[in-house]
Chains A and B, each alone.
Chain A
């Protein structure tokens, strides 16, 4: 095992009573000092993973390793892990200083030492001078920081954050994204961040785990996941995408919307049915006859940075285009895209097979 690995899940299953498992045979590794995000819709099991790491619940099957040791039954306070809760879970009857000092007081630390540590933690989250404030006098963003200070004052090796930004308004949320990322770099510890917001995940993470129905669908860097989603779920969950059925004629040639296109994917069986993903921003609007695809504009929505244009081709496939060019509703236009913009997904492929095929493809590309 890599000595950089801090947490390892080995075939972990979590099941309550006879209900379908919340987590189904999940295995993954988490490395030291990185920013991880568990991304998925509600009920996908991401919070369960967090609670398993924190020690609030135990796996039904499988093992969880921390620094190489099984920690299935280790109580929460004996793990080098701390949690920032969704609603902050600050103690309303204590002021900022006492909230942060809570854990240290439980450990019966010396008063002078507590003072130093609390001040340092508050400085880390830019809350110096707020020691004597009451919690209900603080804004949402400030409460958030107090919650983080309370977690990091215990010097955990891993910090778990359970949708900590969901209660904040959009502007504050964006600010906190930068700050959390920055904080993680300064502290140099592992952050495991749970969210259902794909933008948050893409902006902050070193590595993302996309979860659905108790299984990890795909893991990788934000660009990997965005550019090469493994299946329909991931493609739809992360960003917006056009997904159409197609057929892989042979390597580097794919057929969809009644036409054949050059692409960069390979490793499929001849004439294998596949799904094609093209991101809306990779579609370029041209004159009707210059485009690779001919479509009719159905609707147009101004989004600020771009127009969101909804078109249909003659087969009835919907094409979503993000473009700064304005077009008229009902216009016949052409769509142009590069071969690199086409991403071909094999139906029902597991992550392992996907990695393998992708690896082979990279090698081939390299040789060329």
Chain B
């Protein structure tokens, strides 16, 4: 259906609104028009300087030492960008509002009075009003740092290019190219990535397998004292992870630790270099993570197991299924379907499990020919680059790669999981 307009107010109002408020004035909504104009004017008055410096700063990152501090300029630049986005949002709303009200006039409809406008604003705008403080906070606390890191990855900000003594420059993809081209970086990157993957799959899979195995074991019908056994198995969860890690760090100490001195000695086994040999450190880390991580899986699996009706097993018995077949064809698939989404979060958690790596051996032992420790995973390597060797731009570049990697895997996995699609499995 084609609407027949009696006049052309909507277009005139929209064009006039290029100067905010004028379209509204044209629509004879004087208070609103004046309000819009004042808002727009104050925007330029208040943010004029910031936008001026910020936009210049983010392009050049400073031209003169020590007057210009590149990183401060970068920050101001990002803030300017955010302010501009908000401003454009307001401008777009102003155009839309002028056009809509113009259209109403064209159709011969009455415009809302100021009182009515106030009512609609309060009624329909209330949710927006309520979420806006949180939203604005989010923009500065989350989105701002993300933009900062993304931009940092394309600069040469490191120990030798540090303000205020030196300026920082835009270098394009140089950081990413160097990660691949320079021997030191390539070797480190590949080693750290390889261990990160081994660590993620090794530690997580082991803790999941242990949790499920123990849950099924404890869930056996004729087992006595289930409650006490379950309580004991959940205890490692009750101890804060960092406390467990620090205690284990002490226990694994090569010269004084109880593991070498007492436990292994009791079996007549020589001391194992838990802290100085890369292989043994990795083994220790995976064992400790299994210890810390299994109670959660254990608890969850126990819940799922108790929800599986006995009739399913009876039905399988009628068909002649053995205990092993019942386990592989009923218990395991049902448990896995129910807990799959949570298992994925376990993998992503360990992928970024900074605590245990850093607290157990600070990513060590050191390895020659690379700038990360033998047990550094990507996240702890980034920490090391930022906090100890001031390789800010490289750290930012690696962070970008890591985020891309995690996002891709998480998205792909979640979409693939059956329980993502079907929630009422049981």
Chain A residues proximal to chain B, CB less than 8 Å: 54, 56, 75-78, 81-83, 85-87, 89, 91-93, 102-103, 106-107, 134, 136, 150-151, 154
Contact = CB atoms under 8 A, between A and B. Distances in A.
Interface string B363-380: 000000000000000000
A301 B120 CA distance: 56
A136 B422 CA distance: 9
9 contacts: A77-B320, A83-B315, A85-B315, A89-B312, A92-B334, A92-B425, A106-B316, A154-B318, A154-B319
B314 A89 contact: yes
B426 A92 contact: yes
Nearest to A89: B311
A76 B317 contact: yes
B317 A91 contact: no
B134 interface: no
Contact of A76 (B318, B325, B333, B425): B318
A190 to B, nearest CB: 16
Contacts, number: 67
Contact of A56 (B317, B319, B330): B317
Nearest to B317: A76
B30 interface: no
B334 A86 contact: no
A102 B316 contact: yes
A83 B318 contact: yes
A91 B318 contact: no
A136 B318 CA distance: 23
A106 B325 contact: yes
Nearest to B322: A106
B320 A106 contact: yes
B315 to A, nearest CB: 4
Contacts of B319: 77, 102-103, 106-107, 154
B304 to A, nearest CB: 12
Contacts of A56: 314, 317
B325 A87 contact: no
Contacts of A86: 311
Contacts of A83: 314-315, 318
A164 B422 CA distance: 26
B361 to A, nearest CB: 42
Interface string B396-426: 0000000000000000000000000010111
B318 A103 contact: yes
Number of chain B interface residues as a range: 20 to 34
A54 B315 CA distance: 10
A271 to B, nearest CB: 54
A91 B311 contact: no
Interface of B: 309, 311-312, 314-321, 325, 329-330, 333-334, 337, 422, 424-426
Contacts of B309: 87, 89
A100 to B, nearest CB: 11
Given A87-B309, A136-B422, A136-B424, A93 B334 contact: yes
Nearest to B334: A93
A285 B314 CA distance: 54
A87 B311 contact: yes
A54 B318 contact: yes
Nearest to B332: A93
A110 B337 CA distance: 28
Given A81-B318, A85-B311, A154-B319, 10 more contacts: A54-B318, A76-B314, A76-B318, A89-B314, A89-B315, A91-B312, A91-B315, A103-B320, A106-B321, A154-B318
Given A93-B333, A102-B329, A107 B320 contact: yes
A215 B316 CA distance: 30
Contacts of B317: 56, 75-77
Contacts of A75: 317
Contacts of A134: 422
Contacts of A82: 318
B219 to A, nearest CB: 18
Identify which of A78, A82, A103, A107 gathers the most chain B CB atoms within 10 Å of its CB. Answer: A103
A85 to B, nearest CB: 4
Contacts of B325: 106
Nearest to A135: B425
A157 to B, nearest CB: 13
Nearest to A79: B318
A83 B319 CA distance: 10
A85 B426 CA distance: 16
Nearest to B310: A89
A76 B334 CA distance: 24
Contacts of B316: 102, 106
Nearest to B425: A92
Contacts of A106: 316, 319-321, 325
Contacts of A81: 318
A61 B78 CA distance: 85
A54 B316 CA distance: 12
Given A83-B315, A85-B311, A85-B315, A93 B425 contact: yes
B394 to A, nearest CB: 46
Contacts of A92: 334, 337, 425-426
A93 B314 CA distance: 17
Nearest to B336: A93
A81 to B, nearest CB: 8
Contact of B314 (A85, A102, A103, A150): A85
Contacts of A85: 311, 314-315
A303 B12 CA distance: 73
Contacts of B334: 91-93
A330 B116 CA distance: 66
A102 B313 CA distance: 12
B398 to A, nearest CB: 40
Contacts of A107: 319-320
A104 B224 CA distance: 36
Given A103-B320, A136-B422, A136-B425, A93 B337 contact: yes
Contacts of B422: 134, 136
